[in-house]
Amino acid sequence: MADSFIKWFPDSLGLEQNKAARWGYEQGLMLKALERVWQRTGEQKYLAYIRRTIDYSIGADGSIQRFKLDDYNLDNINTGRTLLTLMQLPGPRQAQYRQAAELLHHQLDGQPRTQEGGYWHKKRYTHQMWLDGLYMAEPFSAEYSQVFNQPTGFDNVALQFAQVEKHLVDPKTGLLYHGYDESREQQWANKTTGQSPNFWGRGMGWYAMALVDVLDYFPKDHPGRAKLIAYLQRLAPVLAKYQDPKTGAWWQVSDQAGRKGNYVEASASCMFVYALQKGVRLGYLDKKYAAVARKGYQGILKEFVQTEPDGTLALNGTVSVGGLGGTPYRDGSYEYYLSEPLKKNDFKGVGPFIMASVEMELAK
């Protein structure tokens, strides 16, 4: 799949073919997936592609093209993980990669927060935490804290997850709502809890991946580490329960299996397989969850993966977007989540599919 992807985008990673890369979380997701393939295979072509993509965006002074710090948008942080990788490798641009990573961290220093310290998802999404934001910011923040030896950074990472566990977990099902509005002002927000009304598969996928990735960097003796592992151990049986028994995949609206209009969705399924299998491999989860991941991966191959006439692989069935509020207004209803179109070879599906595939290879 990684080679298929490079065939689609031979020069660098753009959202549209034959266009240079832009700065966004989808690019960061794909670059991290390609990094996993490079680490697994040792083939330098993947590293060269990653470096070439990043170099389109980083100026000689360490600035980031098309990045606006004042947006305070957590989506802009994710690609910083690749900067941290590249600045630790030999090369002529180490200083610029470091400067760009420091710029992203500077955004987090000024990121608006809830009264309890949770990051707003974006400055324009006032008082709101979204599940997506944990993947967008926290793996970068944790690795930055490790690389730059800033132990207090881990305290902040732990706080972000604690806020999600406090405000977004449904006590009845164990599933997580997509968003939380501290002010209760949004139309989608429950006036008592501030929660959005539904459980979105990919939203929980972002959260699950964030958990297993931040643990790569957390010090063994940090008190937050055990809590993060406990969150993952709480989530794993929930994911197993809501896995579709027929296909092995997971539903777009997680608790509404079989309801009219609902469907099994590729990106969430790939994210859950990745998180569960990585959790088993690293000893955070009981080995029984390897069977859940294996069933999920087989379901992905059957339901979503196809071979194209030119021999490349394609991934179907990824919902193009999922959000709350904005214009036009997204109300978080069941109908809203089913209204967004499905997309073939969407980065948000392909990236996690590659990462899940690497984990399944490591499990052999």
**DSSP β-bridge partners for residue 342:** 319
Handedness of CA 325, 326, 329, 332 (dihedral sign): negative
What would the DSSP string read from start to end of 154-177? HHHHHHHHHHHHHHTB-TTT--B-
Q: How far apart are CA 300 and CA 206, in angstroms?
A: 17
Q: Would you call 61 a catalytic residue per the annotation?
A: no
Q: Are 97 and 60 in contact (CB under 8 A)?
A: no
From the centroid of its chain, how far is CA 250? Answer: 16
Total Cβ atoms within 10 A of residue 151 = 10
Sorted by sequence, the CB contacts under 8 Å of residue 253 that are 6+ apart come out as 198, 199, 200, 201, 259, 262, 334, 337, 338
- What are the residues whose beta carbons fall under 8 Å from the beta carbon of 138, sequence distance 6 or more? 157, 160, 161, 210, 213, 214
C-beta neighbour count of 308 within 10 angstroms? 12
CA-to-CA distance for 206 and 274, rounded, in angstroms?
11
Helices (H), the chain: 2-8, 25-41, 44-55, 80-87, 94-110, 132-147, 152-167, 201-214, 223-242, 266-281, 289-303, 334-339, 347-362
Give the closest residue to 206 by CA, choosing from 297, 121, 327, 294: 121
* Residue in 171, 168, 165 with CA at minimum distance from that of residue 198: 168
Out of 3, 11, 109, 132, pick the active-site residue.
Answer: 132
Residues taking part in catalysis: 132
